Structure 1
């Protein structure tokens, strides 16, 4: 069904009838009520919804009648408010849909009425609203290969007159022409471009800000008419002078509208503007650096630079900017980065626009980096970074902005930063100092920066390993703010995950780290710090077996206690720690074996959605105990119990470990795994088949190959009767998979 037909079918016969009555009546009360509900009922969504439905019904079933009624109200009612609402409703009606269906005589009558309306309407407010409608009508007339010379003559006469009202309305019509008809209108106005040029220059210099702002839109709309160098140069100069006049002479709303049009011009006509870009950048900087202006004004001014950065035609302009200008460009978003709330309380009190400014500063900084390239951006960034962190007495938000900028630059130009002479040493010195900054937010940002996955941070970790460990440990010792302590612990964890495994041993830092982390696990102020500390300890324990063995007796009771924690992440890391300790083969595990089995049993037998990973890790820990501490347990019970939980599906790291272990135990025909009279053989086969079926999700490629070889070997060596028993117990999919392996 056609969408229009489908929509029409939604309107009841009663509503259609009511619509006809209202549109046919000489009484305008119902229409005024409709306008009231349609445009002035922000707190009554139901009334507005009903009014909109009625309007859509009129538009669908009685479009001509609705158009005549609205136009009559626009021309004839004595109330300015009703005329203004009629103009709004006509704009909603959209003449482009209606005009082509009107008869030529009706179109001619409406054109005449439009011209009379423009001449007779006393209310500037109504004329401003009607300018949208008029621009739409002009658009559809020209797009349907018609002309309206009388209107163009009226607009030309109005724009060149001395009457501000006429000039503003004509400029608004030109400004609001839809994009898809501008070329046609340009052709119709081409012979009058000198007149328009002179008139626009006068309007841009008008003492009326309304005329000035309307002229901005008109110039941008018709700018292709003035592509001759002299004409364009004069208009551009008038636009820039007008911008500064509006900036300093009137309330900010005028400047905002005018500058938005200038940004449109930058995006639409890059070739025309290219020769003037250097001067425009300087003008923008003058606005962006001016004191006494609002954040919104600074942001709007810099949006012009961002608009230029989006255009390929301006790339050479940015590439050739002198160092001094590039430095100034960087300092603008750096000021925006200082629009950061000190804490959550301040954040709630501040207007949301403040945070828009901060986010825009981040976006601008990233865009500048891309468009300037490494050769220009990195040296400037280094100087700006030092400028913001050199002075101990500097405002904390400046230091915070410096660290934030560093993270942006490192994301874009890590390699260049590493290779630049003195950059690395200078930055590391400042980073280490910032970790002990007097302000919470600066310390927080610094530790957060040390978690950015960039080559620059990785090189810093490798070359300054010992100094970083010392700095992290100092922070964990002395930090009083829980949030910063969490971030410092997280940064240390990131560092240990990404540093070379042998570096922990080569530098004895492992023991130092363990000594700092163990007390953190018992820190009751933050479950986040207990979780990060456990995870980090597990990393250290896995890499430094000698040190881990030494601390195992202290570590295991902590892990067992953590298995009961309400935080699922802590339970996961506790179970993982037990698995790592079991892998070490240390005898210190033996005294704790019963408690370990008890805690693992709770985790394994409670596979709730929040416990799924902990369940798998606990199964993995049990598997390692079965592998390395069989003498401490009853293998005939524990190994089959472990097998019953396989395959693992939730923690894929642990799954790959356990499925590899299962394969190795099956290859050596582990007696506890097979069970009495090989009673576990079918379960082993089923698990192995599922591992293969899931591919590399549950096992490494090497393990899958081993499993396939093992199944082929078992298929060949077990008696036919035993094979038939096993085969009959499998489902259809498992049978097909097994057969495909045996005969491949």
Structure 2
């Protein structure tokens, strides 16, 4: 498949057919066939890929699914792989790609395929505008403008679709270009004959405004397009299209000043939509989101329209009530995702954000009467929603609620006896939230009463969930007081771990107990507590293994079928979830008690060792390794006495097919180096080649594998830093630097950046590179760390990284060389780091 004709098209019919078959194999249901096809595809040169894909996209005889795959691959090639592929194509091939793409868009008859081609068009156009804003595809721009001026509605859609996805296609926008853009949008947004054109033009107009968020003058010039956008919002909602409304939310969030001249119209429209039961829950949520977002981004403007906000409050509260369908509601997973997100999360969050954005003086008078009526309702759904609303507005209305705190808390306490379990749960949640929001007052008046009341409702997840917060709240009253509170809480929690039959409630109780240990610290459990807890955890682990054996027996019975298997898998998931909570409790004990807890732990050791046997299911091995990771991290160097239990499982599981298992093993190898002492030197040496092999694997950076891979990179960094005599530093360090930055695992990423600072500050010659050759790479690593929000400007590491950048800036020539490799987003990230760190 390497040969091509002079125009860049496939040289022979057989090569075309071979490539079409490859595309079919890429969508084959067989994993093995797909994997082989992917390997072949990755090895095809960029020139061939481009021309073959473009040919497949245009060839209607190869089948729609194949054309779809070709379009997806071509789009990816021209976006993520543009710099590697397109500039290296011969000039005539580049020209033909542009010509063929325009023809393909113009002649395509399948609407869905045409949209995909428009996306490819937009990607190519985006990449053909240089850093100075010069458009290097004027023929493409001319085609779009000519399309708008034609009488062909399909071509109008093409032009608007591209402009929507790439509003910067005009490049440098001088006065003439702005006039063209405005006429283009104005003409289409007023088209009464074709609703789809109005919708597309509204999307494109919104995209253009968002793309020019810093151009205040432009907003004045383009503000008269807003009525058309608002009309398109209204029309599209009733046509089951949310896209324009989504754009309006984004404008409210990003450029609220644009809405200024028509703010009341925007609010009135949003109010109308969020109250219209004919619309979907998602549409009503989005309409509500416009109002709520403006309360945060345009507070001064919105305070002039509090009458409209007041009208929105009943809609918010009504949405919260609509979450509950009937008395049998037990699990959010059984509901439509749309319902759950729209009503529960959005409405509750909306109240919280309104209260914080506009302040209690405005919001509490709007909400108090409504909430009180809901709390007094005979309908449990209203009572539940009223409690959640009370919890949501607490922080924003703090000062205004202080005078009525006694009345409010006493009212909520009554709901702990409500006949409906969800109302009792909401009361627990509300009390926990109020303990945080009103900490000083709450401690003085209600702390003991509330804890006693919650302990009586320990069958409730929310009651258990509140305990650590109440303990933290009590801390300010001194060690004696918090100790007394813990005595009241500890015994019931331990007993509940041993007796609670409901998995969901049990998991929350175990989680609460683990967090409470971390709040209370070393010495919080006496010998009787530890003895009882040890027996309970031992029983949980033994039950875990017994249940697995029983499930295997059921798989051999005559009545075994797919339905039975699904039930067994559900049981297995519940067991594994409880196993994770056992791990959480052990983590809290190890992190709090350190090596002092090891004699107690040894009663569980055989069971934990059993978890990491090679014959166990992968979740057992993952969580067993995590427990040993905690022992190594928090109990070193004493942990070495258990090394023969976990040495080979840790090394062997570096090759496991499951990334979660590899991650647990890699993390353990890293903390061995960091905390393990000299006894771990040989094990660290053995670990390095295994870690490198995982990192260099072809699919190591896929979404599924990247977290495990980043833990491997971090582990090598820890070995280089803490056990440098276990490895050839000069050989490994350049590789380690080439693997940076880490993107996904924020905790490991910041540790890696801290080590990078150590190396730079010591002027390590390998890291700096001959003649400072590695500094551009280092600067890009720092920029990416800021973009990915790994670097928090208040963190000490951020200040060190900012100082590195400042030091480089002292040499103008070196600085220009470094930033020449960065895009605009990376340069802005560095500027923000320098300004705030």
Q: In the TM superposition, what whole-angstrom CA distance separates every residue of 1:255-310 from its partner, at most 9, and x where no partner exists? A: 22222233333345433222323321221122112113322222222333354355
Distance 1:501 1:212, change over 3 A: same
Distance 1:100 1:202, change over 3 A: farther
What are the residue-to-residue correspondences of 1:509-548 with 2, within 5 Å?
526=500
Matched, 1:122 2:122: no
Q: In the TM superposition, what whole-angstrom CA distance separates every residue of 1:577-630 from its partner, at most 9, and x where no partner exists? A: xxxxxxxxxxxxxxxxxxxxxxxxxxxxxx9997996997999xxxxxxxxxxx
Distance 1:476 1:164, change over 3 A: same
Which residue of structure 2 lines up, in the alignment, with residue 321 of structure 1?
A: 305
Distance 1:532 1:36, change over 3 A: closer
Distance 1:494 1:170, change over 3 A: closer
Distance 1:487 1:242, change over 3 A: closer
Which residue of structure 1 lines up, in the alignment, with residue 235 of structure 2?
A: 245
What are the residue-to-residue correspondences of 1:354-369 with 2, within 5 Å?
354-357=339-342, 358-369=344-355
Matched, 1:435 2:416: yes
Distance 1:426 1:292, change over 3 A: farther
2:125 maps to which of 119, 138, 146: 138
Query: Which sits farther off after the overlay, 521-530 or 77-86?
Result: 521-530
Structure 1 unpaired stretches of 5+: 1-14, 505-509, 537-558, 572-606, 620-649, 652-744
Q: In the TM superposition, what whole-angstrom CA distance separates every residue of 1:366-407 from its partner, at most 9, and x where no partner exists? A: 322221123223333433431321x331x2232222222322
TM-aligned CA deviation for residue 171 of structure 1: 0.9
Rounded to whole Å, the distance in 2 between the matches of 1:206 and 1:217 is 18
Are 1:139 and 1:177, in contact at CA under 8 Å, matched by a contact in 2?
yes
Matched, 1:47 2:30: no
Matched, 1:207 2:191: no
Matched, 1:388 2:370: no
Structure 2 unpaired stretches of 5+: 517-525, 539-585, 600-633, 636-837
1:71 maps to which of 54, 66, 74: 54
Which residue of structure 2 lines up, in the alignment, with residue 260 of structure 1?
A: 246
SS of residue matched to 2:128:
helix
Which residue of structure 1 lines up, in the alignment, with residue 430 of structure 2?
A: 449
Which residue of structure 2 lines up, in the alignment, with residue 289 of structure 1?
A: 275
Are 2:57 and 2:68, in contact at CA under 8 Å, matched by a contact in 1?
yes
Structure number, greater radius of gyration: 1
TM-aligned CA deviation for residue 103 of structure 1: 4.8
Which residue of structure 1 lines up, in the alignment, with residue 808 of structure 2?
A: none
Are 1:306 and 1:367, in contact at CA under 8 Å, matched by a contact in 2?
yes
Matched, 1:398 2:382: yes
1:153 maps to which of 142, 149, 157: 142
Rounded to whole Å, the distance in 1 between the matches of 2:512 and 2:247 is 51
TM-aligned CA deviation for residue 126 of structure 1: 3.0
SS of residue matched to 2:305:
coil
Which residue of structure 2 lines up, in the alignment, with residue 35 of structure 1?
A: 23
Are 1:174 and 1:218, in contact at CA under 8 Å, matched by a contact in 2?
yes
Rounded to whole Å, the distance in 2 between the matches of 1:520 and 1:193 is 66
What are the residue-to-residue correspondences of 1:232-631 with 2, within 5 Å?
232-248=222-238, 250=239, 252=240, 255-309=241-295, 311=297, 314-323=298-307, 325-326=309-310, 328-329=312-313, 331-332=315-316, 335-336=319-320, 339=323, 345-357=330-342, 358-389=344-375, 391-393=376-378, 395-418=379-402, 421=403, 423-452=404-433, 453-454=435-436, 456=438, 458-463=440-445, 469=449, 526=500, 564-566=531-533
SS of residue matched to 2:43:
helix
1:167 maps to which of 113, 135, 156: 156
Are 1:378 and 1:413, in contact at CA under 8 Å, matched by a contact in 2?
yes
Rounded to whole Å, the distance in 2 between the matches of 1:67 and 1:614 is 59
1:25 maps to which of 4, 7, 12: 12
Distance 1:24 1:463, change over 3 A: same
Rounded to whole Å, the distance in 1 between the matches of 2:512 and 2:359 is 38
TM-aligned CA deviation for residue 503 of structure 1: 11
SS of residue matched to 1:320:
helix
Are 2:294 and 2:302, in contact at CA under 8 Å, matched by a contact in 1?
no
Are 2:57 and 2:67, in contact at CA under 8 Å, matched by a contact in 1?
yes
Rounded to whole Å, the distance in 1 between the matches of 2:111 and 2:365 is 55
TM-aligned CA deviation for residue 172 of structure 1: 0.8
Q: In the TM superposition, what whole-angstrom CA distance separates every residue of 1:67-117 from its partner, at most 9, and x where no partner exists? A: 223333444554562555443332122074344444555444444444444
Rounded to whole Å, the distance in 1 between the matches of 2:86 and 2:480 is 79
SS of residue matched to 1:246:
helix
Rounded to whole Å, the distance in 2 between the matches of 1:522 and 1:122 is 69
Distance 1:235 1:563, change over 3 A: closer
Which residue of structure 1 lines up, in the alignment, with residue 800 of structure 2?
A: none
Distance 1:51 1:259, change over 3 A: farther
Are 1:139 and 1:178, in contact at CA under 8 Å, matched by a contact in 2?
no
Distance 1:227 1:215, change over 3 A: farther
TM-aligned CA deviation for residue 194 of structure 1: 5.3
- TM-score (norm. length: structure 1): 0.57
SS of residue matched to 1:377:
helix
Rounded to whole Å, the distance in 2 between the matches of 1:99 and 1:409 is 54
State the superposition RMSD in angstroms.
Answer: 5.2
Distance 1:106 1:23, change over 3 A: closer
Distance 1:503 1:416, change over 3 A: farther
Distance 1:322 1:50, change over 3 A: same
TM-aligned CA deviation for residue 26 of structure 1: 1.5
Distance 1:430 1:167, change over 3 A: same
Query: Which sits farther off after the overlay, 375-384 or 130-139?
Result: 375-384
Which residue of structure 2 lines up, in the alignment, with residue 547 of structure 1?
A: none
Which residue of structure 1 lines up, in the alignment, with residue 630 of structure 2?
A: none
Rounded to whole Å, the distance in 1 between the matches of 2:71 and 2:481 is 75
TM-aligned CA deviation for residue 409 of structure 1: 2.8
Rounded to whole Å, the distance in 2 between the matches of 1:361 and 1:189 is 42
Rounded to whole Å, the distance in 1 between the matches of 2:193 and 2:182 is 18
Rounded to whole Å, the distance in 1 between the matches of 2:598 and 2:71 is 72
Are 1:212 and 1:242, in contact at CA under 8 Å, matched by a contact in 2?
yes
Distance 1:615 1:531, change over 3 A: farther
Are 2:135 and 2:171, in contact at CA under 8 Å, matched by a contact in 1?
no
Distance 1:431 1:71, change over 3 A: closer
TM-aligned CA deviation for residue 361 of structure 1: 3.2
Which residue of structure 2 lines up, in the alignment, with residue 195 of structure 1?
A: 183
